[in-house]
C-alpha cells in the first residue's frame, strides 16, 4: 500500500523525472554509446499521435517526414532533436515532433544529424544546413520553412540560422526552441542556483558533453558551437521555452536578452516548476500547453490558418 500511495502522490513531473532516472541508472562507465542511444530510443519510441511517418533521405541526411492530415504541401518545419549531440534520434523524438506537427497542422521533417564522438562539430551543423537546402530544393520558399528543436537541437536551430545568414542565404521564417543549449562553456548563474532543483543536468555533465562534441581542443566560444556568443543581428522571429528548474535556464534567458538588444523579435516563456525539455512528456499538462503555444507561433509565421488541439 505504501508504494501505491507514494505513486499516487507523485506529480506528473515527478513521474517524468523517475522515467529519466530509470534510464540513467542503467548506465555505467562501461556502457557503450551505442547502448545509450538504443536505450534512449526505446524509452521514448512510442508515438500515438495521428501523423503519417515516412523515411526520407534529405540530401543524403537520414530523416523522417511526420505529416498530419490535410497539412499544406508548401510548408514545412525542420526539426532538430536534442541529446547533447551524443544521443537522440528521429526515433526518440518521433512523439514530440509528431505532436508539434499535429498541433501546428504542418508537416515536420525530423533528421538524424551525425552525432559525436564519431562526428564532432561541425558535422551536425553541416547536416542541418544540408536538410535546409533539401527543403529549398523541393521548391519550398525559406519564408515557408520554420526551424524547431530542443536542447542541442535548439542550439542547431540558432547555429543553422547564423551560418545561413553569414553565407548570404535566405533565412527560415522563424525558430522555436525548447530548453536550448546555447552556451557550451556553461557560464550561466543557473548552473549553480538551479543545481539542487534540476534532477538530471549538472554542470559537470554539460561540460563533458561539450568536450564530446567539440573535442579536447575545441573552442566553446565558437559562435556556431555556442550561439550565445554570436552576433544575433538579423535572425528571424524566435520563441524560446524553458523550465524554471533547469540548470541551463540562463542559456535561454541570456540568449533572449542578447537577441532583444540587437532587435530580434523574440519571446521568452519560462515555465514554473518544469524540467529540461518537459515538452517530451505528454502526461505533464504544461507540456500540452507549451506545445499549443509553440504551434500557434509556428502557424502564425508560416501563415497556416487553422488551429488544432494538441495531443
* Residue-level pLDDT at 47: 83
Nearest-CA neighbor of 71 among 51, 91, 96?
Answer: 51
Cell triple for residue 123? Answer: 558535422
Q: Can you give the residue range of the structural domain that contains 115?
A: 2-302
289 falls within a domain? yes
* Residue-level pLDDT at 45: 86
310 falls within a domain? no
What pTM, to 2 d.p., does this model score?
A: 0.95
CA distance linking residue 158 with residue 95, whole number of Å: 23
309 falls within a domain? no
| DSSP string for 78-132 | EEE--STTTS--TTTTHHHHHHHHHHHTS-EEEE----TTTS-TTHHHHHHHHHH
Structure letter (DSSP) for residue 144? G
308 falls within a domain? no
Looking at the predicted structure, is the pLDDT value of residue 182 above 60? yes
CA distance linking residue 241 with residue 250, whole number of Å: 12
The tally of domains found in the chain comes to 1
CA distance linking residue 94 with residue 98, whole number of Å: 6
* Residue-level pLDDT at 310: 54
Cβ contact 167:196 at 8 Å? no
Instruction: Give the dihedral of Cα atoms 91, 95, 96, 99; nearest 10 deg.
Output: 140
282 falls within a domain? yes
Q: Which of 89, 104, 110, 151 is catalytic?
A: 151
CA distance linking residue 251 with residue 28, whole number of Å: 28
Instruction: Give the dihedral of Cα atoms 111, 58, 134, 138; nearest 10 deg.
Output: -120
Give the mean model confidence (pLDDT) for residues 39-46.
Answer: 92
Looking at the predicted structure, is the pLDDT value of residue 142 above 90? yes
CA distance linking residue 112 with residue 102, whole number of Å: 20
Over residues 90-131, the pLDDT tens digits come to 999 999 999 999 999 999 999 999 999 999 999 999 999 999
* Residue-level pLDDT at 305: 81
CA distance linking residue 147 with residue 169, whole number of Å: 15
Looking at the predicted structure, is the pLDDT value of residue 5 above 50? no
What percent of the chain stands above pLDDT 90? Answer: 92
Q: What is the mean pLDDT of the chain?
A: 94
Over residues 270-287, the pLDDT tens digits come to 999 999 999 999 999 999
Structure letter (DSSP) for residue 46? -
SS3 letters for 7-34?
Answer: HHHCCHHHHHHHHHHHHHHCCCCCCCHH
67 falls within a domain? yes
* Residue-level pLDDT at 188: 97
Looking at the predicted structure, is the pLDDT value of residue 6 above 60? no
Angle between helices 12-25 and 33-43 (to 10 degrees): 150
51 falls within a domain? yes
Does residue 151 carry a catalytic annotation?
A: yes
Cell triple for residue 280? Answer: 517530451
CATH number at residue 39: 3.40.50.1820
Cβ contact 108:79 at 8 Å? yes
* Residue-level pLDDT at 306: 58
> Would you place residue 308 in the very low, low, confident or very high pLDDT band (cuts 50, 70, 90)?
low
Neighbours of 163 (CB within 10 A): 20
Cell triple for residue 172? Answer: 527560415
The three-state secondary structure class of 73 is coil
* Residue-level pLDDT at 8: 57
307 falls within a domain? no
> Would you place residue 2 in the very low, low, confident or very high pLDDT band (cuts 50, 70, 90)?
very low
| DSSP string for 149-195 | EETHHHHHHHHHHHHHHHTTPPPPSEEEEES----TT---THHHHTT
Over residues 183-202, the pLDDT tens digits come to 999 999 999 999 999 998 99
The position carrying cell 557503450 is 32
Amino acid at each position: 500500500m505504501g508504494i501505491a500511495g507514494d505513486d499516487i502522490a507523485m506529480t506528473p513531473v515527478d513521474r517524468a523525472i523517475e522515467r529519466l532516472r530509470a534510464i540513467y541508472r542503467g548506465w555505467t562507465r562501461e556502457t557503450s554509446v551505442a547502448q545509450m542511444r538504443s536505450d534512449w530510443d526505446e524509452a521514448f519510441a512510442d508515438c500515438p499521435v495521428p501523423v503519417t511517418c515516412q523515411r526520407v533521405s534529405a540530401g543524403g541526411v537520414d530523416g523522417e517526414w511526420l505529416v498530419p492530415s490535410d497539412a499544406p504541401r508548401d510548408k514545412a518545419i525542420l526539426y532538430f532533436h536534442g541529446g547533447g549531440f551524443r544521443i537522440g534520434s528521429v526515433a526518440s523524438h518521433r512523439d514530440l515532433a509528431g505532436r508539434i506537427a499535429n498541433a501546428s497542422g504542418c508537416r515536420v521533417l525530423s533528421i538524424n544529424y551525425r552525432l559525436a564522438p564519431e562526428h564532432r562539430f561541425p558535422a551536425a551543423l553541416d547536416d542541418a544546413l544540408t536538410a535546409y537546402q533539401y527543403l529549398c530544393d523541393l521548391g519550398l520558399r525559406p519564408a515557408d520553412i520554420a526551424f524547431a528543436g530542443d536542447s542541442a537541437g535548439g542550439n542547431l536551430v540558432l547555429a543553422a540560422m547564423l551560418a545561413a545568414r553569414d553565407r548570404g542565404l535566405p533565412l527560415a521564417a522563424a525558430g522555436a526552441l525548447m530548453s536550448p543549449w546555447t552556451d557550451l562553456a556553461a557560464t550561466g548563474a543557473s548552473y549553480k542556483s538551479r543545481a539542487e532543483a534540476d534532477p538530471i543536468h549538472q554542470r559537470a555533465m554539460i561540460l563533458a558533453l561539450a568536450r564530446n562534441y567539440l573535442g579536447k581542443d575545441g573552442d566553446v566560444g565558437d559562435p556556431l558551437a555556442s550561439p550565445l556568443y554570436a552576433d544575433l543581428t538579423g535572425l528571424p522571429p524566435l520563441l524560446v521555452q524553458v523550465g524554471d528548474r533547469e540548470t541551463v535556464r540562463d542559456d535561454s534567458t541570456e540568449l533572449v536578452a542578447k537577441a532583444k538588444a540587437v532587435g530580434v523579435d523574440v519571446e521568452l516563456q519560462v515555465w514554473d516548476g518544469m524540467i529540461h525539455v518537459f515538452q517530451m512528456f505528454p502526461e505533464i499538462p504544461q507540456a500540452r500547453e507549451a506545445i499549443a503555444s509553440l504551434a500557434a507561433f509556428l502557424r502564425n509565421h508560416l501563415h497556416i490558418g487553422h488551429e488544432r488541439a494538441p495531443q
